Amino acid sequence: MDHGRLPRRLAAVPAALVAAGSLVLAGCSGQDAAAPAPVSTEQLPAPSSSAAPGQASEQTSEQGSAGPALPAALAAGHALSGTPQPAQDVVTGLEVPWSTAVLPDGTALVSERETARVLRVAQAGSSWAAQQVVAPGPGGAVPDVTPRGEGGLLGLAVSPTFEQDRWVYAYTTTAEDDRVVRMRLSDDPAGGPGTLSEPEPLVTGIDSATIHHGGRLAFGPDGMLYATTGDASAPSTAQDQQALTGKVLRVTPDGQPAPGNPVEGSPVWTWGHRNPQGLGWDAAGRAFAAEFGQDTQDELNLLEPGRNYGWPLVEGAVAGPDGSDADVTDPAFTAPLVTWRTADASPSGLLVTADAVYVAALRGQELWRVPLADGRLGQPERVFDGAHGRVRDVVAGPDGALWVLTDNTSRGSASPGDDRLLRVPLA
């Protein structure tokens, strides 16, 4: 199921922030869930300098003192701020959409989990329209995708140097494993949606099951590719640093373990995850992740390299099903910044803007806004209040609004093809 997991990092998170997370949990379960809470008096820790020590010096020497350019998806998010306004349709008729990735030309790609199609969303006069990008698989779908359970065609990411290399990255489920691949997107001279090349495997051998795939891809401010993986119904593997499941992976754009990872030659960046599906960075370079808990608490985490986020020994800020005697204050585990009851969240996609962390929630049928100011978090606020059903992803749209994917068709609560891409203007 799209759910479940454990704690993170008490020693590294200021006590006031852990207390703030408790306030959030209490607020979500009551009538005042949308009311703001006092912002923590403690700042979030600064980004770890060990995230990519070797990479920083290499890129500085090659590109000058300015270092690598910030990936466009992050820059677009950091440019957004304001109060969310009522949602408007961008396109409708989607079938189990999972991820949105914006291209430099102002169009966007949307993945459909079960059809394995990639759609390109572009302006058509005063409105928007979606057309299928032709890939080499049957019916123009991405080849070698085997949808089952929660798996299929999942996360998309666009190369930070897309205008030069045309790479589109995807997280896919095959008959044998989960994997990260990349494909070149070629434009259609006649103005059509374009074509995708045969997938090039980059990271393979990620154990796969019917549930808990993770599946989010994102390029970080260091130019490296990050991928979230679920525990694939084998919780103990989240604590096995040799396994690729239950992790956040960090690799080069070519799929090699990134320089500066906690263990040289390994793609593992953090571990102890159950089913993380949200990933983003603030303007200071701090990494945030949203993760499904099991029965008790969902999480918003601050990721730092080499940290153990607790699953299956801890879930949120409590002992997990495999660790009834676990000491959740053990500094070996990293505590979440914010927790929700699982009925209120089941978090998937995540976007960090100039003034908030937005978290898409499936079971909670919500878009949560967690205020972020001067490195401090406030209490989560409801944006949709259940008006649009299950929410799968949120990104910075090409029109200066939040773009949000719904995911109702996968649970039978909407007619086939009745999911949609929404825009949420910010006042």
Residue 115 within any structural domain of the chain: yes
Burial of 140 (C-beta count, 10 Å sphere; 0-12/13-18/19+): middle
Average pLDDT over residues 71-94: 97
Residue 89 within any structural domain of the chain: no
- The model's confidence at residue 325, banded by pLDDT at 50, 70 and 90, is confident
Residue 143 within any structural domain of the chain: yes
Per residue in 374-383, pLDDT tens?
999 999 999 9
Q: pLDDT at residue 147 above 60?
A: yes
Residue 37 belongs to a domain with what CATH number?
2.120.10.30
Residue 317: the pLDDT is 84
Residue 313's domain comprises 15-44+51-81+109-345
Average pLDDT over residues 29-47: 53
Residue 332 within any structural domain of the chain: yes
How many structural domains is the chain composed of?
A: 1
Residue 69: the pLDDT is 83
Average pLDDT over residues 8-31: 34
- The model's confidence at residue 326, banded by pLDDT at 50, 70 and 90, is confident
Residue 358 within any structural domain of the chain: no
Residue 225 within any structural domain of the chain: yes
**Which range (75-89, 117-131, 132-146, 399-413) has the least confidence?**
399-413
Residue 260 within any structural domain of the chain: yes
Residue 102 within any structural domain of the chain: no
Per residue in 204-257, pLDDT tens?
999 999 999 999 999 999 999 999 999 999 999 999 999 999 999 999 999 999
Over the chain, what is the mean pLDDT?
87
**Which range (363-377, 386-400, 404-418) has the least confidence?**
404-418
